[in-house]
Amino acid sequence: MMTLAVLFLSLSTLSSCNKDNDDSSAYSYSTSQQTTLVTGFALQADADVLANLDSVHFTVDYDKGLIYNADSLPKGTDVTALKVTVEFLNTVSSAVFDITGATVQADTTINYTTSSTKSIDFTGKTVLTVVSADETQVKKYDVKVLVHKENPDTLIFPQSWRRDLPGYRYTAIGHKAVKQGDLYRIMNYNGIESFLFTAESPNQGTWDKQKVNLPFAPQIPSLAATDDALYMLADDGTLYTSPDGMEWTSCGVTWYSVLGAYDGRVLGIVKGDDAYYHDEYPRTEGFEATRVEDGFPISHSSGMIVTDNKWTVAQQAMVVGGMDSQGNVLSDVWGYDGNHWGKINNIHSSALPALTEATVFSYYTYKALSGTRRYGRQSTWYVMGGKLADGSLNKNIYLSNTQGITWTKADSTICQPNHMPKFYGAQAFVNFETLTTAGMANAPRRVTTPVTSWECPYIYLFGGYNDQGVLLPYLWRGVYNRLTNYPVY
């Protein structure tokens, strides 16, 4: 496709070559590319149809004779009576729209050069025929006003994408998935035997299975991973470690709970004679165990996630909810900057309920850019599942676009589907997968260089437990719909 910028450069070069002493008669207008070129196409503003309708970008593909909006209008937009603005490179004799097969407007023709304020129904076939000023050249353009058939700003977990949980057995009483470096690992425990499952992708069909001879009775939910080691508590609180999940050795410390991994070390809680204390393993130089803050979750918080933070130099770790030393179920969000813990959510502007064992992950949403019909991706933290303070299970999704400071309850476009059971204690991972243009060779786009593939982030939810404490045998795969669309920018 020839972009307008390149086209204008070509025309400028052609004009310069034909120019003689600034005599305009020296310019050549013998090609239809110059005499019938549409240089701009736009819908006129109509707030009753859609806000910022006049900012929708249309691409003019002269070679294919197409005019279209690569970024489709929202699902349900009424395109039966739209006014347009058309710009040409040169004066034209006529520009006529032929409308056929529309749902409201009868088959008709509209001469834009004499009736530029008439409305057009774009639900059928619309052809713009441009005739040059000297009436020697004719160019036809198919004009398409594209509308999404589905809402792109929805979160979906199709039932058809659901798979059996790797390593699931009806006798399993413990199941935990972690990511160690570039590998996904699952520890499965049935009360007698333990098995380790390993894959390079959560979407991998077959996982490598190995039986593990643990020298201790494990607390499976405590499993955590750094890039080069796994950690897990025994039932007596002893912390064990393994480089690959097969051979485990004692770390020589006893903990009350494990929070998660941060920068090559695992963070946990130690129960002292008089209070609970923060600890880490291996300890960094100068580390001293400090008493946990009032209201800090000593157990049953969400899994800890670590993300880059635009407001701090170091990465930020975060846990949501949990239970404090007084047995209170918390709605707080605590952050860790590598040295200190602090409460980061504003309880006066947070919709988060008190939760234990919720699932939290960093993902994306989209928002409309001010004054336009374009959308920008924004990093968003999600909270799903978990137990409410009354013991019932949460089915709402909560979102934060402010690094965990403020939270809102998601609307119906981002919700847990009815076919997905309520859960607590599931693990979530975001895995980028390559989508290609196979079957999309003629897909509309605004990019100047054809896109043949792009990376789409998919959410994977492993297991979790139902309200009876029974392990759910599912691996769910989900995505924010817009992320699967062919890139148009």
Return the pLDDT at 275: 96
Least confident interval from 3-17, 28-42, 164-178: 3-17
What are the residues facing 299 on neighbouring strands? 323
Closest CA to 402 of 461, 358, 362: 362
Return the pLDDT at 14: 34
The answer, yes or no, to whether residue 4 has pLDDT greater than 50, is: no
Confidence of residue 184 (pLDDT cuts 50, 70, 90): very high
Query: Which residue type is seen at 249?
Result: T
Q: Are 457 and 389 contacting, i.e. CB atoms less than 8 angstroms apart?
A: no
Q: What is the rounded distance in angstroms from the CA atom of residue 41 to the CA atom of residue 10?
A: 21
Return the pLDDT at 310: 58
Return the pLDDT at 6: 34
The answer, yes or no, to whether residue 120 has pLDDT greater than 90, is: yes
Return the pLDDT at 314: 75
Return the pLDDT at 451: 57
Q: What is the rounded distance in angstroms from the CA atom of residue 258 to the CA atom of residue 222?
A: 6
Q: What is the rounded distance in angstroms from the CA atom of residue 163 to the CA atom of residue 154?
A: 21
Q: Are 404 and 398 contacting, i.e. CB atoms less than 8 angstroms apart?
A: no
Return the pLDDT at 34: 86
Return the pLDDT at 215: 94
The answer, yes or no, to whether residue 17 has pLDDT greater than 60, is: no
Segment 159-168, tens digit of pLDDT: 999 999 988 8
Q: Are 83 and 117 contacting, i.e. CB atoms less than 8 angstroms apart?
A: yes
Q: Are 185 and 198 contacting, i.e. CB atoms less than 8 angstroms apart?
A: yes
- Quick one: DSSP state of residue 84? E
Q: How many degrees, rounded to 5, is the angle at CA 236 between CA 232 and CA 238?
A: 45
Return the pLDDT at 488: 55
Beta strands in 369-481 (DSSP E): 375-384, 387-388, 398-400, 408-409, 427-436, 453-462, 474-480
Higher pLDDT, 453 or 318: 318
Return the pLDDT at 475: 96
Q: How many degrees, rounded to 5, is the angle at CA 143 between CA 141 and CA 146?
A: 150
Residues in contact with 162: Cβ distance below 8 Å, sequence separation at least 6, in sequence order: 474, 475, 476, 477
User: Can you tell me the mean pLDDT for 289-308?
Assistant: 94
DSSP 21-73: TT-GGGS---SHHHHS-EEEEEEPPBTTTBTTGGG---EEETTTTEEE-SSPB
Q: What is the rounded distance in angstroms from the CA atom of residue 198 to the CA atom of residue 164?
A: 15
Where exactly does CATH 2.60.40.2340 map onto the chain?
4-144
Q: How many degrees, rounded to 5, is the angle at CA 78 between CA 77 and CA 81?
A: 145
Q: Are 202 and 194 contacting, i.e. CB atoms less than 8 angstroms apart?
A: no
Query: Which residue type is seen at 113?
Result: T
User: Can you tell me the mean pLDDT for 150-175?
Assistant: 87
Q: Are 298 and 237 contacting, i.e. CB atoms less than 8 angstroms apart?
A: no
Closest CA to 220 of 268, 153, 280, 173: 173
- The CATH T-level fold of domain 4-144 is Immunoglobulin-like (2.60.40)
Which class is domain 155-484? mainly beta
Higher pLDDT, 225 or 169: 225
Polymer length of the chain: 489
Q: Are 96 and 34 contacting, i.e. CB atoms less than 8 angstroms apart?
A: no
Return the pLDDT at 20: 36
User: Can you tell me the mean pLDDT for 12-19?
Assistant: 35
Closest CA to 141 of 117, 123, 125: 125
Q: Are 487 and 451 contacting, i.e. CB atoms less than 8 angstroms apart?
A: yes
pTM of the model: 0.79
Confidence of residue 309 (pLDDT cuts 50, 70, 90): low
Return the pLDDT at 243: 97
Which long-range CB contacts under 8 A does 481-485 form with residues at least 24 apart?
481/150, 481/151, 481/152, 481/153, 481/154, 481/155, 481/156, 482/152, 482/153, 482/366, 482/375, 483/364, 483/456, 483/457, 484/435, 484/456, 485/152
Upper half-sphere CA count for residue 112 (Cβ side, 13 Å): 25
Return the pLDDT at 311: 56
Q: What is the rounded distance in angstroms from the CA atom of residue 188 to the CA atom of residue 175?
A: 5
Segment 462-484, tens digit of pLDDT: 999 999 999 999 999 999 998 98
- Structure token digits, residue 86: 């058309």
Return the pLDDT at 72: 84
Return the pLDDT at 151: 87
Mean residue pLDDT of the chain comes to 88
Upper half-sphere CA count for residue 166 (Cβ side, 13 Å): 25
Where exactly does CATH 2.120.10 map onto the chain?
155-484
Confidence of residue 191 (pLDDT cuts 50, 70, 90): confident
Segment 49-92, tens digit of pLDDT: 988 899 998 999 898 899 998 888 888 899 999 999 999 999 99
